[in-house]
């Protein structure tokens, strides 16, 4: 799954936000073709510059609602973003994912430790979501999986 967005804000805070996004890990489920069993692993989200000054964030598709919640994304219904989405050939984020994201806890204490995980919050920054693009799925490297 790929989501595309613009960053706004003071440069050093935007750079911090970009660093924090790159440090997130997401659960990726795929099927082992030899055993037929589902295998879950953690993969690091990938942020890369894209065209027209946008950024692209890549992660497992089943994590979309959680990515929306953790990154603190807001739905933008303006004409401006609709036009950019169409120009880039992207899909709109499904309403279902926006609704699910509202109920996802982003601040978590790791039981039995003195550590925790928090959603990404950087004052003075904004992330203007444009749209998404799905990855193809198929048999790769002995697994049936999403081609991240």
Per-residue pLDDT of 95-135, as tens digits, reads 999 999 999 988 888 888 988 888 888 888 888 889 999 98
20: number of Cβ within 10 Å: 18
Per-residue model confidence as pLDDT tens digits over 25-83: 999 988 888 898 999 999 999 999 998 889 999 999 999 999 999 988 887 777 678 88
State the Cα–Cα distance between residues 91 and 3, nearest whole angstrom.
9
Coil/strand/helix, residue 81: helix
The per-residue DSSP string of 130-145 comes to EEEEPPPEEEETTEEE
pTM: 0.87
Sorted by sequence, the CB contacts under 8 Å of residue 5 that are 6+ apart come out as 54, 55, 57, 73, 127, 128, 129, 130
Q: Where are the beta strands (DSSP E) in the chain?
A: 2-9, 25-32, 38-44, 46-49, 55-58, 108-109, 116-117, 125-133, 137-140, 143-146
Residue 43 exposed, middle or buried by CB count within 10 Å (0-12, 13-18, 19+)? middle
Domain boundaries, given as residue ranges, for the chain: 2-135
């Amino acid at each position: 799954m790929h989501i595309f967005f613009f960053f706004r804000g003071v440069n050093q805070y935007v750079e911090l936000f970009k660093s924090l996004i790159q440090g997130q890990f997401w659960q990726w489920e795929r099927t082992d073709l030899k055993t037929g069993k589902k295998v879950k692993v953690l993969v690091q989200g990938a942020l890369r510059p894209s065209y027209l000054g946008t950024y692209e964030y890549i992660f497992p598709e089943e994590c979309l609602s959680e990515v929306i919640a953790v990154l603190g994304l807001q739905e933008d219904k303006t004409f401006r973003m609709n036009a950019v989405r169409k120009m880039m050939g992207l899909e709109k984020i499904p309403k279902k994912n926006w609704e699910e994201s509202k109920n996802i806890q982003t601040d978590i204490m790791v039981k039995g430790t003195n550590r925790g995980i928090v959603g990404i919050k950087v004052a003075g920054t904004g992330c203007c979501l444009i749209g998404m693009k799905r990855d193809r799925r198929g048999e790769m490297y002995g697994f049936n999986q999403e081609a991240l």
